[in-house]
Structure 1
Amino acid sequence: MNSFVHKTLVVELLAPGTGRCPVLAHLGYDADDPFAVTAVFAHDGRVLACWRLDREMLSDGLVGPVGAGDVRLRPSTTGLWQELRLEFFGDVRPDGGRHHAVVFAWADAVAAFLRETHRIVPPGAERVPVDALLEEILSTG
């Protein structure tokens, strides 16, 4: 059985002053890291940002607002489309503010990606090899 899921989506980045512009979002899931989804955002062959998201949080964000820190998700409706609004807060800028990005993804596409991950590792069946993790951490100290 395949332990990886990858899906590339066209999402929209909300750019200040210009509105929404299309970028690619490469979503990745690896059963060896069962709680995480990697999201790499790219445009014109350049990586704009890479985030590790909590898989359960991503799922919960499709039905209601979640997150209070650097990542905040919530459902959004634009015309006939159901979207997932993803807000990312990054490093502090020289002016004291924080870098901030808002991305809109088609909710059905994100839900389809999550269903594929659930076929590999069902929710609640995630396991982390804690002993091996502790051994690795202690051996590098």
Structure 2
Amino acid sequence: MNSFVHKTLVVQLLAPGTGRCPVLVHLGYDADDPFAVTAVFAHDGHVLASWRLDREMLSAGLSGPVGVGDVRLRPAGTGPWQELRMEFLGDARPGGGRHHAVVLVWAPAIAAFLLETHQVVPPGQERVPVDELLAEILSTG
């Protein structure tokens, strides 16, 4: 069985003054890191940002608001136009405040991606090889 899931989606970056701007997001899941989903945002061949997201939080964001830190997710829209609103707070700006990005993605596409990840590692079946990691660390010391 494949231990990787990858999906590329067109999402909408909310840009102040210009409305929605289409960008790509490359979503990745690796069974070796079963709690995380990577999201790499790109436009015109350039990486705009890369984030590691909690898989459970991504799933919960489809049905209600989650997140209090640098990543906040919540459903937006209804019916076939239901979207997942993803807010990202980045590094501090030189003049004060922080970089802030809002991305909207079609919620059924995220749900389908998560379903594929659940086929690789079902929720509640995640395993982190802590014993093996500790043995490796201690053997090199």
Q: TM-score range by the shorter chain?
A: over 0.9
Over the residues paired in the alignment, what is the CA RMSD in angstroms?
A: 1.7
Q: Give structure 2 stretches of 5+ with no counterpart.
A: none
| Number of residue-to-residue matches in the alignment | 141
Cα 1:93–1:78, aligned 2, differ >3 Å: closer, same or farther?
Answer: farther
Distance in 1, matches of 2:39 and 2:140, equals 28
Map residues 35-50 of structure 1 onto 2, 5 A cutoff: 35-50=35-50
Distance in 2, matches of 1:19 and 1:28, equals 27
Deviation at 1:133, TM superposition (A): 2.9
Distance in 1, matches of 2:140 and 2:99, equals 33
Superposition TM-score, scaled by structure 2 size = 0.94
The residue type paired with residue 61 of structure 2 is: G
Map residues 110-125 of structure 1 onto 2, 5 A cutoff: 110-125=110-125
Partner residue of 2:85?
Answer: 85
1:69-102 Cα shifts (integer Å, max 9, x gaps)? 0000000006850000000000000111000000
Cα 1:132–1:9, aligned 2, differ >3 Å: closer, same or farther?
Answer: same
Cα 1:29–1:18, aligned 2, differ >3 Å: closer, same or farther?
Answer: same
- State the identity as a percent: 83
Distance in 2, matches of 1:140 and 1:105, equals 44
Superposition TM-score, scaled by structure 1 size = 0.94
Segment of structure 1 superposing worse, 117-126 or 71-80: 71-80
